[in-house]
Amino acid sequence: MEVHLDPLGGIAGDMFVAALLDFRPDLEMGLIEALALCPLIDRVDVTLENHNDGILSGRRFSVRREGRRAEEQSEAAHHHNHAHADWQLIREALVTSKLDCDTVRHAIGIFTHLAEAEARVHGVDPQYVRFHEVGAWDSIADIVAAAWLIARIPAVRWTVGALPLGSGRVRTAHGLLPVPAPATALLLEGFATIDDGIAGERVTPTGAAILRHLCDPFETDRVPRRLIGSSHGFGTKRLPGLSNCVRLLAFETLVDQTPEDQVAVLECEIDDQTGEDIAQAIDNLRTRKGVLDVVQMPVFGKKGRMMTHLRILAEPAARDDILSAVFDETTTIGVRHSLANRTVLPRRPGTVELDGRSLRLKLVERPSGRTAKLEADDLAAVRTSAERTRLRRLAEDSMKEEKE
């Protein structure tokens, strides 16, 4: 399953949680029980409310302490010392809690993005970051709730639409800050944004950290998929003429009959190495772990020189190791390399008995049907081209008979 988030009104931690619970209401009771295991929040009541703003309907996730939401207590708190929470203490509390490992892992991942952004803003080491608004009990509850739900949504990929930037100022423990807040702006680097003309804080630090944890802002790969569900999670603010919600779209990925993967391509030209040495170098490169194929061809270079063009196909994970090997084995001083998509047909090994010989086959499933080819190494001991051709035809005929 893939999950796409459409930030119509923006995104915040409570909106993200509400959208997931609107999609999976069966997880509500489990979430409430899980939050009770978190030592960072106490005397907190969690409710999931139906909400209709006259345009769309969905759910709203509310966290209350002593019957009041955090925003209802913020004005009074503004006139007193701002509460803060050390990142190290939050991490220690999560690790030692009774929450399951996946929830802890996702929660720490989200908080880590926040800590790194705050550290860049204030010029300190992340381990010394002290959260203010994000360290408040309601934000901690939102992040832990989000982490618990992420661990239970079987999504293989998360994507997000263009994010509304908002405008104006937001009141924080550090005074009035521009929208988006500095830490939020850092967390949103790389994501597509829009300016829809509606002011206010549209993406909170918590919402931005969740997106940074889940989504690759540079993801461009698109595959066929089927829409299987949608939901809406509302925030507490009201926006003029626009639903303040994040829409969740869930997709089922359609299985492609021709699987695709990626291959590393390394290329260079060589004009100052002897033919004997290049041949040895290619033999050595071909045996390197991760090398899929090595191709050489004659080309003309500058000043009319005859050169050898070398192309290596390799597993992406082995690219750096093979790159070093090319520099060691050849005289080139530059190698072009890139990742290329490739479509690979399903294949499997087989055997066939011909003239008392057991010969290996490569069976390939093509759109028009299965084909079979004898392994060249097994024909090395067969004399004459005519005999090898005869055996290949017999192998093909045997596969046709087997299919019929």
Q: Is the pLDDT of residue 16 over 50?
A: yes
Would you state the pLDDT for residue 87? Answer: 84
**DSSP secondary structure code for residue 330 in this structure:** S
Q: Is the pLDDT of residue 230 over 80?
A: yes
100 to 19, 106, 141, 147, 217: CA distances (angstroms): 22, 10, 15, 10, 28
Q: Is the pLDDT of residue 256 over 60?
A: no
CATH tag for 260-343 (out of 3.30.9.10, 3.30.70.3000, 3.20.20.410, 3.30.70.1380): 3.30.70.1380
How does the average pLDDT of the chain come out, rounded?
85
Select from 107, 63, 48 the least CA-distant residue to 233.
Answer: 48
Q: Is the pLDDT of residue 70 over 70?
A: no
Categorize the per-residue pLDDT at 371 as very low, low, confident or very high, splitting at 50, 70 and 90.
Answer: confident
Mean pLDDT of 200-207: 93
> Range with the lowest mean pLDDT among 101-105, 294-298, 335-339, 390-394?
390-394
Would you state the pLDDT for residue 79? Answer: 39
Mean pLDDT of 270-282: 92
Phi then psi for 297, rounded to 5 degrees? -155, 150
Select from 21, 42, 43 the least CA-distant residue to 31.
Answer: 21
Q: Is the pLDDT of residue 237 over 60?
A: yes
For the chain, give every domain's residue range: 2-253, 260-343, 347-403
Task: Please give the residue that has the higher pLDDT: either 40 or 290.
Answer: 290
How far is Cα 393 from Cα 395, in angstroms, rounded to an integer?
5
Task: Please give the residue that has the higher pLDDT: either 165 or 122.
Answer: 165
Mean pLDDT of 232-251: 94
Would you state the pLDDT for residue 65? Answer: 72
Q: Is the pLDDT of residue 344 over 90?
A: no
Q: Is the pLDDT of residue 39 over 90?
A: no
Would you state the pLDDT for residue 88? Answer: 86
How far is Cα 170 from Cα 164, in angstroms, rounded to an integer?
15
Select from 146, 165, 159, 166 the least CA-distant residue to 19.
Answer: 146
Question: Is 248 in contact with 273 (CB distance < 8 Å)?
Answer: no
Would you state the pLDDT for residue 399? Answer: 67
Categorize the per-residue pLDDT at 138 as very low, low, confident or very high, splitting at 50, 70 and 90.
Answer: confident
Would you state the pLDDT for residue 67? Answer: 58
Mean pLDDT of 342-352: 81
Would you state the pLDDT for residue 77? Answer: 47
**DSSP secondary structure code for residue 7 in this structure:** -
How far is Cα 247 from Cα 199, in angstroms, rounded to an integer?
20
Q: Is the pLDDT of residue 238 over 70?
A: yes
Mean pLDDT of 192-202: 92
Categorize the per-residue pLDDT at 170 as very low, low, confident or very high, splitting at 50, 70 and 90.
Answer: confident
Mean pLDDT of 191-208: 93
Would you state the pLDDT for residue 176? Answer: 81
Mean pLDDT of 266-289: 93
Mean pLDDT of 234-253: 93
Phi then psi for 102, rounded to 5 degrees? -65, -40
How far is Cα 197 from Cα 181, in angstroms, rounded to an integer?
17
Q: Is the pLDDT of residue 341 over 90?
A: no
Question: Is 376 in contact with 391 (CB distance < 8 Å)?
Answer: no
Q: Which of 63-77, 118-132, 194-208, 335-349 ranks highest by mean pLDDT?
A: 194-208
Select from 6, 41, 17 the least CA-distant residue to 210.
Answer: 17
Would you state the pLDDT for residue 299? Answer: 92
Q: Is the pLDDT of residue 331 over 60?
A: yes
In the chain, % of residues over pLDDT 70? 89
Categorize the per-residue pLDDT at 76 as very low, low, confident or very high, splitting at 50, 70 and 90.
Answer: very low
Tell me the pTM.
0.63
